[in-house]
Amino acid sequence: MNRVLLSEDRDGVRTLTLNRPKRKNAIDAELWAALADAFRAAADDRSVRALVLTGAGGAFCSGADISTPDNGHPIYRMRALTDVALLLHELPMPTVAKIDGVAVGAGWNLALGCDLVVATPGSTFSQIFARRGLSVDLGGSWLLPKLVGLQQAKRLALLAETFDAKQARALNLVTWVVPETEIDAFTDDLTARLVAGPPVALAQNKALLNAGANLTLREALAGEAAAQGLNFATADAPEAFAAFAEKRDPHFTGRWTVHRPPARGAEGSANGDESHS
């Protein structure tokens, strides 16, 4: 992995660490490209059951690095941000932002693009864009109204105030606030629970919830019905039912199991069942 973005895999969890601590992990062109590559790689790797995004050196991310000269047209710079935001949003596995320190501007919206956010009490947050003569980006105009409602989103964007973790939690912009000494263990436990879940069903839940806010009830119900069809075609639903009956914990794999009759004249098992992983 690129030196500005560290990657570690352990027990089904991939941890990506923004690694520009001298710049409080501000994201330059190299780091934007590394994030895009890392998200694409994670999306294609079925061994990754959960993804954690964090920062090195006592900061999460201080936003886009505006100190680096860039003579290119802004449309190309914004394309890099757009790619990262969409790739993160569309990752099939659950994603967790682990924040200790500053998370401002695009850095905060990068965290909000994750499914769950864990922060320490000393963390600070700001939609700082207006103080820089800019408007919100990295999906902030879409994320904030959905998370806090339109009026509070306008407060965040127009005033560019700085919030502590307690205030961010009160606005539903942080899922949990955990002491600094406990955040690693808390995140490890959280991701272990996510990894133990049914991967296909979790991916379907995530996609349904992401899309649901923009759908009619009829459209949402149709999406739910289609998703359940996919879930029942895996080994996980029968495994859950069996585990419940046997009073044990289920073991979910996401394995695709299809039962269908063989083609006419084909040789095979007597009942024609086929199982595909």
In terms of domains, do 47 and 135 share one?
A: yes
In terms of domains, do 139 and 167 share one?
A: yes
The pLDDT of residue 241 is 86
In terms of domains, do 231 and 184 share one?
A: no
In terms of domains, do 180 and 266 share one?
A: no
Q: Do 123 and 103 meet the contact criterion of CB atoms below 8 Å apart?
A: yes
- Mean pLDDT for 219-238 is 88
pLDDT of residue 88 exceeding 80, the answer is yes
Number of domains in the chain: 2
The two tokens of residue 158 are 């127009």
Distance CA 254, CA 217 (A): 28
Give per-residue pLDDT as tens, 23-36: 999 999 999 999 99
Which of 195, 213, 239 finishes a domain? Answer: 195
In terms of domains, do 118 and 230 share one?
A: no
Which of 180, 195, 210 finishes a domain? Answer: 195
Mean pLDDT of the chain: 91
| pLDDT-derived band at 260, boundaries 50, 70, 90 | low
Q: Do 272 and 262 meet the contact criterion of CB atoms below 8 Å apart?
A: yes
Range of the domain at 253: 198-277
Most confident of 160-174, 219-233, 254-268: 160-174
The two tokens of residue 218 are 């009829």
CATH code, 62: 3.90.226.10
Exposure pattern of 221-254 as b/e (b: 16+ CB <10 Å)?
Answer: eebeeebeeebebbbbbebbeeeeeeeeebebeb
The two tokens of residue 127 are 């939609």
Q: Is 21 exposed, middle or buried (0-12, 13-18, 19+ CB in 10 A)?
A: middle
Which of 195, 218, 240 finishes a domain? Answer: 195
CATH code, 234: 1.10.12.10
Exposure pattern of 61-91 as b/e (b: 16+ CB <10 Å)?
Answer: bbbbbeeeeeeeeeeeeeebbebbbebbbeb
In terms of domains, do 219 and 241 share one?
A: yes
Q: Looking at the whole model, is its pTM more than 0.85? A: yes
In terms of domains, do 52 and 109 share one?
A: yes
The sign of the CA dihedral 193, 94, 163, 21 is positive
In terms of domains, do 150 and 187 share one?
A: yes
- Mean pLDDT for 86-108 is 97
In terms of domains, do 190 and 232 share one?
A: no
- CB count within 10 Å of CB 214 equals 10
